Structure 1
Amino acid sequence: MTAEPPITGETPLTTEPSAPAGPLAEKAATAKSPRALKAARMRRSLARFWKEYRTHRSGLWGLAALILIALIAICAPLLVGADSESVTDAPGQAMEDPSGEFPLGTDQFGRSVLALLVWGSRVSLTVGLLAAFLCVAIGTVVGIVAGHFRGWYATVLMRVTDWFLVMPTLVLAIALATVMDRSMWTVILAIGITTWPTTARLVRAQTLAVESRPYIERARALGGGHGHIMLRHVLPNVMPLVLAQTTLVISSAILTESTLAFLGLSDPTVTSWGGMLQDAREAGAVSAGHWWYLAPPGLAIALVALAFTLCGRAVESVLNPRLGVAR
């Protein structure tokens, strides 16, 4: 005979499988939040963008040059020292020829031109990026508002845009920089205020095209207000154009900043590439033939402008393949 298990007050454990979850429970378990779905779509979009961008060799060269210049600008204190801009502690003699100690020679104060070139990249890039951001921000707001609203709102905005568009940009920037304080923020403000009309025109045209689509009418029929339509429907559709325009505007902003600095309208206490050209002209580097003082900042300006232009063309080609930009 076999012994029976003792009787206890505990409930015996069962090994039977639990009841299968219903379809609704499975759907709830696998469903993602709207934020997670949006993040997943963003990752897929960025992956597709990078896959297409890599096929543009010129865009890759421009991106590599920008990354290198940005790293140099960020690491300037480590590369050339924090006191390389000082006039009183200049390590060399005035206007020395290039040598092992000073690969690009010295300026009229005995400072290393290479060190000044590295420090100037910080100011030139900062002014170019911030001025381009201000320009694109103003142009995007004006373009969306002028394309969304009809009547006298759009008429007034576009007449103001046309006035800025026909006026010489450089002349307006010089006028603003002359009447305001000579500082880096004045140059940023002058460039941003005078270069936004082109962006506004492009964004307005894209806004009109977007608002003619059927889903905009459906959003209005469902009670969507002006802010909802402009922010949730129009803005995401014009952002690719805004992104491509930004990369193209940055190069123009850097050239304008260099021009204002060369004319002596920027902050004289900071070192920029345009300011270096101004200092070289005042020191007589042109007549004396000191090419090492003139050529490096000019080539740096041209290189950065070319790099941003190459990146902008590649971005524009990826976002709008019908353009057929050469790779």
Structure 2
Amino acid sequence: MTTGKWPAARPRAMAWQRRRASAARFWRRYRTHRAGVLGLATLALFVLLALAAPLLVGSGVADVTDAPGSPLERPSGELPFGADRFGRNLLGLVIWGARVSLLVGLFAAVLSVAIGTVIGVTAGHFRGWYATVVMRITDWFLVMPTLVLAIALATVMSRSLLTVVVAIGVTTWPTTARLVRAQTLAVESRPYIERARALGGGHWHIMSRHVLPHVMPLVLAQTTLIISSAILAEATLAFLGLGDPTVVSWGGLLQDAREAGAVSAGHWWYLVPPGIAIALVALAFTLCGRAVESVLNPRLGVSR
């Protein structure tokens, strides 16, 4: 005698089995891309350093009252990266700054992709006057310099990490919106969408059940690519003094180095570590994004 749990349990188990099989196929294809695997390993290293920062360097690494070195001390055995203008350990500051830079880049990219996805899907589905108005606004954002808009927003808002996230997120969504709209138009031209409408499927049903699953691979690839741009944008805003002065980030370290005259004085150890960290993380996310693009859309022909 069957119980009432089986009809619901079997489809759920089959769905999880399909997801596990899909994830396994994705990983088998992804690991064939050497550059993508290298980028993923680099990201894993930085994430581990960021998570273990309180254990590795302690929460008081940014405290200027208990600095272990003298101001602008050169690299040595005790201070491998030297000291900043307050005598703080630069190695510890770079490790601690990974937490802020990675979090801001991730949240800003998620906000940007979320806005672009909603606008792209709705513009591709409803069309008509709504799509015309929305896409003209998108075109305006595309032709405007993203960094200038982000600086303007960060200037008029309070100086905080939330401000940086919002400033980056609301100025970098147009590219995602364009890509998602094009994919939505391609999906909605397929015959099964017409059948869904004929069977009584509403706008929400078609967008959530038929369109969104087909654009999610594109959204995933776009997210990994935007994170690198978001990290660079955060570093730029912090370098210009528009970030939160109370937190340690890689861009903030570069801004401190500029204020201390490290460029003209030749204090290279103040500039190189945070600069290399920013470049490595941005490159790693770009490599991962290209590999994800190649796996999800083999027609792109991205080199391995």
**What TM-score, normalized by structure 2, do the two folds share?**
0.97
d(CA) in 1 for partners of 2:271, 2:68 = 20
Q: Does 1:284 align with 2:261?
A: yes
d(CA) in 2 for partners of 1:30, 1:189 = 45
Q: Equivalent residue for 2:155?
A: 178
Q: Cα deviation per residue 1:267-289 (whole Å; 9 max; x = unaligned)?
A: 01111101100100111111111
Deviation at 1:33, TM superposition (A): 2.3
Deviation at 1:30, TM superposition (A): 10
How many residues of Structure 1 are paired with residues of Structure 2 in the alignment?
A: 302
Q: Does 1:267 align with 2:213?
A: no
The change in CA–CA distance for 1:29 and 1:263 in structure 2 (over 3 A counts) is closer
Q: Cα deviation per residue 1:174-214 (whole Å; 9 max; x = unaligned)?
A: 00000000000000000000000000000000000000001
Uncovered stretches (5+) of structure 2, i.e. residues with no partner:
none
Q: Equivalent residue for 1:201?
A: 178
Alignment of 1:37-186 (within 5 A): 37-186=14-163
d(CA) in 2 for partners of 1:233, 1:30 = 24
Q: Equivalent residue for 2:223?
A: 246
Moved more, 36-45 or 135-144: 36-45
Uncovered stretches (5+) of structure 1, i.e. residues with no partner:
1-20
The change in CA–CA distance for 1:318 and 1:95 in structure 2 (over 3 A counts) is same
The change in CA–CA distance for 1:142 and 1:30 in structure 2 (over 3 A counts) is closer
Q: Cα deviation per residue 1:161-184 (whole Å; 9 max; x = unaligned)?
A: 111111110000000000000000
Deviation at 1:38, TM superposition (A): 1.2
The change in CA–CA distance for 1:233 and 1:94 in structure 2 (over 3 A counts) is same
Q: Does 1:188 align with 2:165?
A: yes
SS at the partner of 1:87?
A: coil
Percent identical among aligned pairs is 76
d(CA) in 2 for partners of 1:176, 1:288 = 33
Higher helix share: 2
d(CA) in 1 for partners of 2:151, 2:6 = 62
d(CA) in 1 for partners of 2:174, 2:8 = 45
d(CA) in 2 for partners of 1:33, 1:222 = 26
Q: Cα deviation per residue 1:14-67 (whole Å; 9 max; x = unaligned)?
A: xxxxxxx9xxx8xx9899522212111111100000000010000000000000
Match of 1:237 among 191, 214, 221: 214
d(CA) in 1 for partners of 2:38, 2:50 = 18
d(CA) in 2 for partners of 1:78, 1:32 = 43
Q: Does 1:220 align with 2:217?
A: no
Q: What amino acid is the match of 1:304?
A: V
Larger radius of gyration: 1
d(CA) in 2 for partners of 1:31, 1:232 = 19
Q: Equivalent residue for 2:283?
A: 306
Match of 2:294 among 317, 321, 325: 317
d(CA) in 1 for partners of 2:7, 2:86 = 69
SS at the partner of 2:170?
A: helix
Deviation at 1:82, TM superposition (A): 1.2
Q: Cα deviation per residue 1:288-326 (whole Å; 9 max; x = unaligned)?
A: 111111001000000000000000000000001111111
Q: What amino acid is the match of 1:161?
A: T
Q: What amino acid is the match of 1:239?
A: M
**What TM-score, normalized by structure 1, do the two folds share?**
0.90
Q: RMSD value over aligned CA atoms? A: 1.4
Q: What amino acid is the match of 1:254?
A: I
SS at the partner of 1:194?
A: coil
